[in-house]
Homo-oligomer: A and B are copies of this chain.
Amino acid sequence: MTDTSLGKQMHSLATMMFPICRSITGNGVRQTLNILKEEIPLVIYEVPSGTKVFDWEVPKEWNIREAYIKNSTGEKIVDFKNCNLHVLNYSTPINKKISLEELKKHLSSLPDHPDWIPYRTSYYKEDWGFCISHNQLQNLTEDTYDVCIDSTLTQGHLTYGECFIPGELSDEVLISAHVCHPSLPNDNLAGISVVTYLAKELLKSKPRYSYRFLFIPGTIGAITWLSINELHTHRIKHGLVASLLGDPGTFTYKRSRRGDTEIDTIVETVLKSRNPDNKIIEFFPYGYDERQFCSPGFNLAVGCLSRTPFGQYAEYHTSADNLEFIKAEILEDSYNTYLEIVRVLEANKKFLNTNPKCEPQLGKRGLYSLKGGDNDAKEFQLALLWVLNLSDGEHSLLDISKRANMKFESIRFAASKLEECDLLKEARKNWT
């Protein structure tokens, strides 16, 4: 399997999920999770409508079979089958004849992008509507229109999926992707695909941390998950919200509310080393589910790693976020970036120098050039000395690499050689 084929596989997975009309509840989410279940072991949870989750409650379940607008000649001028963005997500059922004037009260369009169909929702206020291109809107003539939305909004469930990979430690890494958007590949089929393939990779061998991958509806899904798992969240030591990972922009990492946690430092280091144009921004209480994970009562070390941030590219929340908008090689770059972050996180241990008083004699262990008087301090030997000098239980390998201004990999390699000689031992806790 070449690297290129990995990107193509992720794109294929997104393509399989594309036609499904997802929402915060309903069969669209179930179908999506069933596709993912073919790739990774996924436990699917169903939480009944009306369940109290903190200040909220799980809403009624929404499902839709068809929807259209016909003109008086019986022609379907708008059809949900062509594009599921056409229906205001969570629309209540409707089936009646109305005038153009009345119809227009229920239409959304994008005057600045007259060919594109917008994406709109109305989860918490019962309403119905259609989204169409602005060109079509302007060409609508006086007529009597037959509008039909064959949807149901009834007692049911909120559905989410969870893939847990136990590691050596009970400390957990949380990675979540939202699964509530209909046919919008960048938002968030790209994120779902990258996270699924990341889980597949981690399943190949037992990691140090335990990993918990969440595929949840945005906002209400995160609130529901946190409510159900409230007593469990103390195990989450690091986390990332994965969204918007298929567009061609550079990465933007939004720090956790705490701002200076280990995941914040690692993501910053990895992003800056991969591309100096990648951006790091401070936390703000708007955006994806980091809003919930970073609410003051949880305050978890969870940031959000996207490519171009929401609302900052024209195609955001429109029909132009289509399967051509996301590219296989971009998905693969997103995957590799997430994987590098995980690799650094896995390796970023703190050690104790077992011989902390004066330097140990590296020469007798074959780790040090025995010919003195040489002006050149060798990179490897310097890395050994840095690791020994700072391994006091306070500094992680990443801390050491930053202090030494050396690559993380050089420091990690030096630490592994010292550990082999019993000159280092890990300062660790929280064994499973």
Contact A371 B286 (CB under 8 A): no
Contact B359 A122 (CB under 8 A): no
- Label chain A's interface by main secondary structure: loop
A304 to chain B, nearest CB (A): 14
A137 within 8 A of B: no
A198-242 contact mask (Cβ, 8 Å, vs B): 1 or 0: 000000000000000000000100110011001000000000000
A291 within 8 A of B: yes
A288 to chain B, nearest CB (A): 12
Q: Which residues of B contact A410 (CB under 8 A)?
A: none
4 other contacts beyond A219-B359, A291-B385, with CB at 8 A cut-off? Answer: A119-B373, A120-B371, A125-B363, A223-B359
- Within A49-84, which residues are at the interface with B (CB < 8 Å)? 53-56
A303 within 8 A of B: no
Contact B55 A361 (CB under 8 A): yes
A36 within 8 A of B: no
A331-371 contact mask (Cβ, 8 Å, vs B): 1 or 0: 00000000000000000000001011111110110000011
Q: Which residues of B contact A55 (CB under 8 A)?
A: 355, 358-361
Contact B124 A363 (CB under 8 A): yes
Contact A296 B353 (CB under 8 A): yes
Contact B316 A285 (CB under 8 A): no
Contact A392 B285 (CB under 8 A): no
30 contacts between A and B (CB under 8 A): A54-B357, A54-B360, A55-B355, A89-B372, A89-B373, A118-B373, A120-B371, A120-B372, A121-B371, A122-B370, A122-B371, A124-B364, A222-B358, A226-B358, A227-B358, A284-B404, A285-B382, A285-B388, A285-B389, A286-B377, A286-B385, A291-B359, A295-B356, A296-B388, A296-B390, A296-B392, A298-B357, A311-B375, A316-B375, A317-B375
Contact A373 B121 (CB under 8 A): yes
Contact B358 A297 (CB under 8 A): yes
A391 within 8 A of B: yes
Residue among B120, B291, B299, B360 making CB contact with A373, cutoff 8 Å: B120
Contact A373 B317 (CB under 8 A): yes
A197 within 8 A of B: no
Q: Which residues of B contact A356 (CB under 8 A)?
A: 295-297
User: Which of A56, A222, A227 gathers the greatest number of chain B CB atoms within 10 Å?
Assistant: A56
**Using a CB–CB distance below 8 Å, which chain A residues touch chain B?**
53-56, 89, 118-125, 219, 222-223, 226-227, 230, 257, 284-286, 291-292, 294-299, 311, 316-317, 353, 355-361, 363-364, 370-375, 377, 382, 385-386, 388-392, 404
| A295 to B359 CA separation, bound complex (whole angstroms) | 7
Contact B226 A357 (CB under 8 A): yes
| A89 to B370 CA separation, bound complex (whole angstroms) | 13
Q: Which residues of B contact A385 (CB under 8 A)?
A: 285-286, 291
| A358 to B54 CA separation, bound complex (whole angstroms) | 7
Residue among B121, B124, B285, B358 making CB contact with A295, cutoff 8 Å: B358
Q: Which residues of B contact A372 (CB under 8 A)?
A: 89, 120-123
